[in-house]
């Protein structure tokens, strides 16, 4: 295969579509070209790749250590014989987690090491809804007024998905650190600056999203208002937001260090099946600290205090401050 074609997304100030490549058989030369495009555009759309689980993980491994590879991000299970289960119950923890993905976030900021980049490959898509949207926090930071830049320069927020699930949808998953959600709903909260400098480009970006809460030094109301206003600002300009309408076979790849994303709602009785691969960040630049670190205690306490408030505040949200039993 010859030269790939890299076409900036129409009407957008970030993102590009890449055609004329096969991700499953990429030469080193082709990979380097894609890497340069990834750093420039932050979001790459590869139509017609039809990657399977193994191929998705293999491509991910070219970027670094995987958090997971070739995993179902779906509302049903795939059996060994290739057939699919019924769609999950909307009350199940799996669906609660899927619905949580419908709020703007970057991946794994609630873990000690946040994610470098991630990809989704579409297998089964819904006729209506179920798009994935992306937003550029690098352009957003550049567009902030100087007073806001100055105000946030030294601020940080805790990140936890126990927090975001509770705050966004009234879901309070058990956080005993066990089971498939042990590395997700673990009761820790990791402190991360609101402004992140990209380790490969040196360009600063906002680093906010649904998992962020409780800015040390600010009152709760002030912290909530600031975090919400920053996310609103990122998505307030349509040149910074891209909506991907899925076609089966598409692969989309993005930089979790500066690109926000969210799924869009769809009819949850219809199947939606994506294969996902997530690459871990670098220790030097994406590590907050580990739970053993003395700094972890403040996050744990901030989270516990916040969840206590949300227990009564989030009763009107989708799951009504309940705990999933399944």
User: What angle in degrees, to the nearest 10, is found between the helix axes of 161-169 and 93-100?
Assistant: 90
Nearer to ligand OGA, 215 or 274 (CB): 274
Nearer to ligand OGA, 141 or 253 (CB): 253
Least distance (Å) between residue 127 CB and Mn ion: 22
Q: Please state, in angstroms and as integers, the Cα–Cα distance from residue 104 to each residue in 63, 124, 232, following that order.
A: 24, 22, 10
Query: What is the per-residue binding string for ligand OGA in 85-124, x denoting contact by CB under 6 A?
Result: ----------------x-----x----------x-x----
Q: Which does 132 bind (CB under 5 to 8 A by kind): Mn ion, ligand OGA, none?
A: ligand OGA
Nearer to ligand OGA, 130 or 204 (CB): 130
CA 287 to chain centre: 16
132 binds ligand OGA (CB under 6 A): yes
Q: How many Å apart are CA 70 and CA 278, to the nearest integer?
A: 9
Q: How many Å apart are CA 326 and CA 324, to the nearest integer?
A: 6
Tally Cβ neighbours within 10 Å of residue 91.
12
Which residues between 149 and 188 bind ligand OGA (CB under 6 A)? none
Tally Cβ neighbours within 10 Å of residue 53.
17
Which residue of this chain has its Cβ atom nearest to Mn ion in the complex? 107
Nearer to ligand OGA, 213 or 266 (CB): 266
Q: How many Å apart are CA 102 and CA 75, to the nearest integer?
A: 13
107 binds Mn ion (CB under 5 A): yes
Q: b/e per residue, 6-23, with b = 16+ CB within 10 A?
A: beebeebbbbbbbeebeb
Question: Residues 60, 69, 276, 281: which binds ligand OGA (CB under 6 A)?
Answer: 276
Nearer to ligand OGA, 95 or 215 (CB): 95
- The first and second tokens of residue 68, run together, are 């997971």
Three-class secondary structure of residue 278 per DSSP = strand
Question: Residues 261, 299, 307, 319: which binds ligand OGA (CB under 6 A)?
Answer: 261
Site residue total, ligand OGA (CB under 6 A): 10
- The first and second tokens of residue 239, run together, are 């040149």
Which residues between 29 and 88 bind ligand OGA (CB under 6 A)? 73
DSSP conformation class of 257: T
Least distance (Å) between residue 124 CB and Mn ion: 18
- The first and second tokens of residue 31, run together, are 């990979």
Nearer to Mn ion, 110 or 172 (CB): 110
Which residue of this chain has its Cβ atom nearest to ligand OGA in the complex? 263
C-alpha dihedral over 19, 21, 23, 26, to 10 degrees? -150
Residues in the site for Mn ion, rule: CB under 5 A?
Answer: 107
Interface positions with ligand OGA (CB under 6 A): 73, 101, 107, 118, 120, 132, 261, 263, 274, 276
């Amino acid at each position: 295969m010859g030269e790939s074609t890299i076409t900036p997304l129409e009407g957008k100030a970030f993102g590009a579509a890449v055609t004329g490549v096969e991700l499953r058989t990429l030469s080193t030369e082709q990979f380097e070209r894609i890497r340069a495009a990834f750093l420039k555009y932050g979001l790459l759309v590869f139509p017609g790749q039809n990657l399977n689980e193994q191929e998705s993980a293999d491509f991910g491994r070219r970027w670094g250590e995987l958090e997971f590879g070739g995993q179902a991000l779906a509302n049903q299970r795939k059996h060994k014989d290739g057939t699919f289960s019924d769609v999950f119950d909307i009350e199940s923890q799996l669906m609660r987690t899927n619905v949580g993905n419908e709020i703007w976030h970057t991946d794994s900021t609630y873990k000690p090491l946040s994610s470098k980049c991630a990809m989704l490959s579409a297998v089964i898509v819904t006729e209506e809804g179920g798009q994935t949207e992306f937003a550029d926090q690098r352009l957003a930071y550049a567009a902030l007024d100087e007073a806001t830049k100055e105000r946030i320069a030294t601020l940080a927020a805790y990140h936890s998905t126990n927090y975001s699930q509770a705050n966004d949808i009234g879901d309070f998953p058990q956080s005993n650190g066990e089971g498939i959600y042990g590395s997700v709903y673990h009761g820790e909260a990791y402190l991360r600056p609101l402004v992140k400098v990209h380790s490969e480009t040196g360009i600063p970006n906002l680093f906010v999203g649904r998992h962020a809460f409780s800015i040390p030094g600010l009152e709760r109301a002030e912290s909530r208002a600031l975090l919400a206003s920053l996310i609103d600002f990122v998505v307030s300009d349509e040149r910074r937001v891209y909506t991907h309408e899925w076609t089966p076979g598409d692969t989309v790849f993005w930089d979790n260090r500066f690109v926000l994303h969210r799924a869009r709602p769809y009819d949850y009785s219809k199947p939606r099946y994506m294969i996902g691969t997530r690459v871990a960040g670098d220790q030097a630049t994406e590590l907050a600290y580990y739970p053993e670190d003395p700094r972890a205690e403040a996050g744990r306490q901030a989270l516990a205090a916040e969840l206590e408030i949300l227990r009564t505040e989030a009763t009107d949200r989708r799951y009504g401050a309940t705990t999933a039993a399944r």
